[in-house]
Amino acid sequence: METKEEKLFDTINLLDKSMAELKAISQSLSASRIKNYGLIASVMESCQEMSNRTKTEINFQPYYIQGVFPTEMELSIYRIFQEITLFSIQYLKSNTVNVHLIEHTDSVLLNIFHDGKEMDHKVAETSEWTNINTRVQIAKGQLKMQHSPKQGYLFSINFPYA
């Protein structure tokens, strides 16, 4: 049986861990990260941080990226990438997530592939999924999903310029 001192010590350790995790999440969502390092470096770093934290393999590959995008677009892409990746790990039990960012002449395409399970109606009703859809709408993006039983999901979000 634990003593009061042991319970207090355990509680303080739990609070310390929670505060450290909250700080890490807060920093990863920060707009200053993109401002300081750019979208590509921020996504790469976030993939590594999430991989380490969740023990999920997360890979990132940019294609045909010529420069920087408008600030609001970069913020939207970054936050939607984070939310879909974490959603895929938490709710769809993905072991591997592959993120591709592709620049086209009139849009930017964010593809997120993962090997998780199929999304059922309970998962589709979560506040996290609602938040993802709302962010895509605010960014004037178009979200398409495709599921293959043996390969997992593809989330494809097209962000048009202007």
Q: Among 16-20, 89-93, 110-114, 129-133, which is the least confidently predicted range?
A: 16-20
Average pLDDT over residues 69-82: 94
How far is Cα 145 from Cα 130, in angstroms, rounded to an integer?
Answer: 15
pLDDT for res 105: 92
How far is Cα 143 from Cα 156, in angstroms, rounded to an integer?
Answer: 6
Q: Among 64-68, 101-105, 140-144, 152-156, which is the least confidently predicted range?
A: 64-68
Alpha-carbon 64 to chain mean position: 21
Distances (CA, A) of 68 to 32, 34, 35, 108: 15, 10, 11, 11
Q: Which residue has the tokens 């609001």?
A: 72
Confidence class for position 138, pLDDT limits 50, 70, 90:
very high
How far is Cα 104 from Cα 101, in angstroms, rounded to an integer?
Answer: 10
Confidence class for position 20, pLDDT limits 50, 70, 90:
low
- pLDDT of 80 > 90? The answer is yes
DSSP string, 1-58: ---HHHHHHHHHHHHHHHHHHHHHHHHHH-HHHHHHH-HHHHHHHHHHHHHHHH--EE
Q: Which domains does the chain have, with CATH numbers?
A: 4-160 (3.30.565.10)
* Strand ranges (E), 48-148: 57-63, 96-103, 107-114, 142-148
How far is Cα 159 from Cα 139, in angstroms, rounded to an integer?
Answer: 7
Side by side, the strands of the sheet bearing 107-114 are 57-63, 96-103, 107-114, 152-160, 142-148
pLDDT for res 24: 52
Average pLDDT over residues 84-99: 94
User: pLDDT (tens digit, 9 = 90+) per residue, 21-55?
Assistant: 545 555 445 578 888 889 999 999 999 999 999 99
Q: Which amino acid is at 33?
A: R
